[in-house]
Chains A and B, each alone.
Chain A
Amino acid sequence: VLQLTSVQRSAPRPFRIYSICVAVVGAAVFVFTLRQQPLQLSIQLLVVVIAAAASEMLSSELPMFSVTLAYPLVMSAIVLGGPSAAGVVALFSAVTIQDFRNQKPPTVIAFNAGQFTLSACVGGWLYLLAGARYLASGPNTFDPLTAADFPRVLLGMTLAAVAVPATNICLTSLGAALLTGTRFRDVLRSALALLPSQVILAFVGFLMAQVLSLNLLALPLFAFPLLVARQLYQRYMSLRSAYVDTIRSLIGALEAKDPYTRGHSERVAVYAVSLGTAMSLEQRALERLEYAALLHDLGKLAVPGAVLTKPTRLQPAEMDRIREHPGRGAEMVQRIPHLRDLADTVAAHHERIDGTGYPAGIDGSHMPLAARILGVADSFDAMTTTRAYRPALTYEDALAELRAGSNRQFDADVVRVFIENGVGTAQHLATPADAASADSYMTNMSFEEETR
């Protein structure tokens, strides 16, 4: 189950209004549900409520949400006691002592309670509307499902299994978007990635209800599978979030051997992500752009340092070696699972809009957008840092070069966004340590050599 985790005291006004609306609608639906379908109390339901409250302590933290194990317990409550039982379990899992201990703002607590209770009640009603029955037949008495109840129960279960997480994800994503100022579709897209596992969890909840009605003592059997799944997922998330730091650290160390390009990839990544953000790219595209930027010069690590730092004009063979680096980098990126799709971007980051770039000489229409963004970010950083063969250009001179290359070397739209948004101004531009030895070469260099 997704819940907002924010502890910021001053939530934006749109979020406050939204959270109050969700809380009021959730409360209204819950009261309506309790009146229409009175709650049948039982030890089994009490156990589920306690487990749901305890599951909060095992939540996995994501950037904007926490994911708890309460979801199968709510599904279990739907099958055990219908929508009213589901609403009670949702309420107890959404509002816990920990929320108050962590000083979550009342608006966030009210929102979490409202959205989850609403989601649970919606799922519960859909389950009943599909013709499925719940198991409670009186206080503490249950009539477990038999083979004859199928496939009707399965239909109800499937509807509830999709409705509860879908409602939860949509409401929470909108809340997170309003709270953090992030685009709704970006938040929704990252949250929807959780939907398949949530649907599967629904069936676990269904099994839980049947086991509870058959033998309460068998409930601990669910602990192993759920805890194993949660632990593995949490380890996956922590490794995934540390991945970009790992690449940054290793690339940074290897790049540092050339004093002129130290920190280049990291700066290019900063420029590229700023550009991507200004161009309204989606969150996932920005993430991929950052990886591509960090790895764009991977092939250059294989070029001898003597060539990279040569202060004089390069020989044709040396130039060929440099020109091979996008292709070699792409081959290497191709070997990394999860990053294979970036190979085209890495391969094309030295291509030009007019088709005179290298290694393939493709024109702008065949270049991925990420490669066009990288082309600008890479060249800007190359121009504003000192190289062995020339000193650094000033910010204004570099912009003039970008303008001059617009529609020939660079994508005109990307250059326009770069200039309009002042990308690069806030960054610390590397200053030449000693440019004296290189200044005479600059005027005679082709632009291609400048960007090596």
Chain B
Amino acid sequence: VTVLPALPLMATPIQPLDSSWLGALWFLAAIVLLDCFDISLPRGDSTGVAGALCAAGIIVLGPVAVIGVSLASAVLASFIRPRPDSPRQLVAGAITRTLALLVTSALIRVPPVHGSQAVLFAVIPAVFLATELLIAQGSAAMLTGRPMMRLIRGNADSQSALLAAQWSASVLLLITYGRMGRWSLIPVVALLLLMRQSYALFLDVRETYKATVEVLVEAAESQDDRRVGHAERTAVLARSVAMKIGLSAHEVERISYAALLHDLGELAEGVGDGRGVRRSSVPASDIVRGVAFFDQVEPILRVCEGDGYTGATESDLMAALIVALASDIDSEYHPQVAAAHEHSLLDQVAHRVAPSVKARAVGAALRLGYRIPAVS
């Protein structure tokens, strides 16, 4: 550990606070512990809070030691975790963290940064966390073809509070490490676990809502063979179009729910009471009205229902258009769905939306390779 920092690229003008093997081992244990508690995100990847320790580790252990610790922790955690990463995820995660550590370490050599301890303690964790986010989102943008800046902005929106909290934890570790040594890792890890636990609980309950809605809609759809799977497919389609356009995570989620629920009114429609009486359809927006979780979804459904609703915002109209487009694309590929619908949802919504908005949504769907139905 003490020899490696001599590598020319890694040489920094500051001495590590702790250059012992024991210190590196404590960091390794703490990072592995936090990595094991990574939170699985609904989109398939995961997020964690161990970045705070890696950031502080640059100053505490020195750049080379922390890169070694970070790589070892990635491998160890992937073995210990109940759901291990795929080799590809493991390599991508390790590369992202190592790159962020290299970039941040290089910054220490800039005189204004290492000139003052306060600046060093504040800047290094911030730069590391921001760089890690940039690299992770940049590679995601390259892989998915989604606009990078929108992706970064969306993630910064949804995770900025968590990142700021990690930065705070990192600075607190640096402040206390000088006197308490490696014992200071215990309360800092506790703080990070507390944040992680709150975030995981929140995501967990949201996932429960999503699964509940999916299951209920699927159950209702299975009454009519023509409709089976339509809501789920529409939600997937609408989600991919919204992400392709680069809408925020919040908007994507709102659209996803609206797509799942857009046919709820027809699904709840009476099938007759045995005497040939057919109840009229209940608007989906009426069903979800009053349910706090769907407050943000109701305006989209109201636009989709085409009842002359005037309270819609620009984003509601855009969202409704995406839902309608996704529904009609699904009907295009599954003629039985078209037969089950009395009219085209897109026709109902498209005339309310500005041409530029239509162009964005249709353009995104075309880039995703979908066959587009005629838009009025």
Contact = CB atoms under 8 A, between A and B. Distances in A.
Interface of A: 144-147, 150-151, 154, 197, 200-201, 203-204, 206-207, 210-211, 214-215, 218, 221-225, 227-233, 235-236, 238-240, 242-243, 245-247, 249-251, 253-254, 256-260, 298-299, 301-306, 309-311, 328, 332-333, 335-339, 388, 437
Contacts of B291: 242, 245-246, 249-250
B215 A336 contact: yes
Given A207-B191, A218-B172, A302-B219, 11 more contacts: A197-B194, A204-B194, A227-B161, A232-B201, A236-B204, A239-B293, A249-B287, A249-B288, A257-B267, A332-B219, A337-B208
B41 interface: no
B25 to A, nearest CB: 15
B271 A204 contact: no
A338 B172 contact: no
Nearest to A308: B271
B274 A311 contact: yes
16 contacts: A197-B197, A204-B191, A207-B184, A224-B168, A225-B194, A228-B162, A228-B195, A229-B198, A233-B198, A236-B198, A259-B270, A260-B273, A302-B223, A309-B273, A338-B208, A388-B274
A221 B188 CA distance: 12
Q: Which label, helix, strand, loop or mixed, suits the secondary structure of the B interface?
A: helix
A246 B223 CA distance: 22
A445 to B, nearest CB: 15
Interface string B166-201: 011101100110011111101110111111011101
State the main secondary structure of chain A at its contact with B: helix
A243 B198 CA distance: 18
Contact of B268 (A232, A236, A253): A253
A357 B282 CA distance: 36
Contacts of B205: 236, 239-240, 243, 338
B220 interface: yes
Interface centre among A210, A303, A339 (most CB of B within 10 A): A210
B209 A239 contact: yes
In order of increasing CB-CB distance, the 5 nearest A-B pairs are: A305-B271, A207-B187, A203-B190, A147-B181, A232-B198
Nearest to B166: A225
A203 B186 contact: yes
A201 B191 CA distance: 7
A204 B275 CA distance: 67
Nearest to A210: B176
Contacts of A249: 287-288, 290-291
A338 B215 CA distance: 14
B216 interface: yes
A243 B187 contact: no
Given A207-B187, A239-B209, A302-B219, A145 B204 contact: no
A328 B212 CA distance: 15
B202 to A, nearest CB: 5
Nearest to A146: B179
Contacts of B209: 239, 243, 246
B271 A221 contact: no
Contact of A256 (B171, B181, B282): B282
Contacts of B197: 197, 200, 229
A328 B290 CA distance: 29
A110 B49 CA distance: 41
Contacts of B183: 147, 150-151, 154
Nearest to B273: A259
B164 interface: yes
A257 B172 contact: no
Nearest to A232: B198
Contacts of B199: 232
B213 interface: yes
B264 interface: yes
B9 interface: no
Interface in B285-325: 287-288, 290-294
Contact of B168 (A225, A242, A247, A309): A225
B213 A250 contact: yes
A239 B291 CA distance: 11
A229 B165 CA distance: 9
B206 A200 contact: no
